[in-house]
Amino acid sequence: MLPRLAKGAVLQQVRGIAGIASAEPAGPSIKTTIPGPRSKHLKQEMDAVHQTTSVRFHVDYEKSFGNYVVDADGNTLLDVYTQISSLPLGYNHPDLVKVASQPHLITSLVSRPALGSFPRTDFADGISHALTSIAPKGLKAVQTMLCGTSANENAIKTAFIWYQAQRRGGLGPDALHLDSCMRQEKPGTPNLSVMGFEGAFHGRSLCMLSVTRSKPIHKVDIPAFDWPIAKFPRYKYPLEQNAAYNKKQDQESLADVEAKIAEWKRRDNDVAAIIVEPIQAEGGDHYGSPQFFQGLRDITQKHGIVFIVDEVQTGGGATGDIWAHDHWNLSSPPDIVTFSKKLLTGGYFYGEHLRVKEAYRIYNTWMGDPTKLLLLEKAVEVIRRDGLVEQSREVGQEFQKRLGELQKASGGKLDQARGRGTFAAVDFPSATLRDKFVDLAISNGLHCGGCGDKSLRFRPSLVYTKKHLDLTFDLLDKTLKQL
């Protein structure tokens, strides 16, 4: 049974957390193996009522602060994984805890609104302060959603709706379209496709799996749309020593995009949208150059294709800018930018030309969560007040330098060190060796995680500083010597 606390006890607990949240542990403290006996017991209990195949260990969130996570057995770890890159200010940041105790957040939580039909009186203000204030260049309109997957899903729906409207001269669906769609026939149910890329990850819904190519286990046994998957650059590092090779990667990838657009056109299955990550995170931290992404933008404009940039994992400041695509300096903005994770709520920004005119086409019961918007509003305020994006940029420069040095000293165990800001990764010779390293690092007090076939990824929070960096590399060096 879950413990039941009286109202006064709950408020006392919240105030207690707020009072000590700034007191980070001095460092890691390991008391048991991980997972320890308490975590294993909790997993057994959970397994009776819920799937547990992906559970690593249970967390004591009431005792986790700043850059440190504490598990159910009292083990304290420096966390450079941060709930898969989704904690902008680390654990239990005092400013966010204070917001969580305010009446307007409590009423948003207890009386959760169906935002599409019955938004709160302060919802527009919340959007303005939390999201419009950090909108990508050239995009102001925004739609909140529950998570990154639902953001991507509805971004694609928005692209399809716009594409079909252009075929009708900018008009909405007529009687023929409305009638035929109920039989899943043309013209109301058109043949349209979305282009994704090799190595991409955009979510695990039926639609998003058709543009996802990161790991087979995500896709196996699930039917998929006949949508094109194009080549994505695979660079060699250091970049400055492999310029010719990497330029050829860009050229081959862009040529493949053009070829597949033409091929699907011949199949009477137009590519209505292209969706791409600035950094293929789940797929292995694969990067594209500004020239590659400008080439993509040029192609989408040439063919009248909606250009969707998936910033679910890269948005929020870890790359040294709120938006990773800002590093590209595009000649014109993307049509849609999706977000979630470090921005706490899901959603997408879009160009005004893509605004859907008919009700209930982009819709669900919740359409996001106002409590997350209230937290994000405060998080954005803290990020600006404390200069956290700039800090991430500065700490990130040192992180990249130290990661390169660690690779050189690794005796061939590490390769392809890469990153932007504190968003970083390095490769191992095999997945087996990478996974062994992750387990050893956790046992040494550093919580990290893998991605792609054999990469180790780093996703610290924005309150990660030079002292945390120094400790991180001490633990990485220690773990490498044990490997």
Q: Tell me the catalytic residues.
A: 201, 310, 341, 365
Separation of alpha carbons 173 and 293, rounded Å:
33
Candidates 422, 419, 474, 421; CA nearest to 445 is: 474
3-class secondary-structure state, position 401: helix
| DSSP state letters, 203-265 | -SSHHHHTT--S-HHHHTT-------EE------SSGGGSHHHHHHHHHHHHHHHHHHHHHHH
Instruction: Tell me phi and psi for residue 123, to 5 degrees.
Output: -65, -45
Separation of alpha carbons 457 and 286, rounded Å:
11
Separation of alpha carbons 282 and 264, rounded Å:
27
Candidates 253, 263, 351, 242; CA nearest to 294 is: 253
Report the DSSP beta bridge partners of residue 287: 279
- 3-state class percentages of the chain: helix first, strand second, coil last, to nearest 5: 45, 15, 40
Q: 276 — alpha (psi -120 to 50), left (phi > 0) or beta?
A: beta
3-class secondary-structure state, position 126: helix
Q: By the 8 A CB rule, do 145 and 338 touch? A: no
Candidates 386, 480, 387, 371; CA nearest to 434 is: 480
Cross-sheet strand order for the sheet of 346-350: 141-145, 346-350, 336-339, 306-310, 270-276, 192-197, 229-230
Alpha helices in 336-465 (DSSP H): 370-385, 388-408, 431-443
Alpha helices in 243-387 (DSSP H): 243-266, 290-303, 370-385
Report the DSSP beta bridge partners of residue 196: 229
Angle (CA) 320-331-340 rounded to 5° is 45
Separation of alpha carbons 477 and 439, rounded Å:
14
3-class secondary-structure state, position 276: strand
Q: Which residues lie closer than 8 Å to 416 by C-beta, 6 or more apart?
A: 236, 237, 425, 426, 427, 455
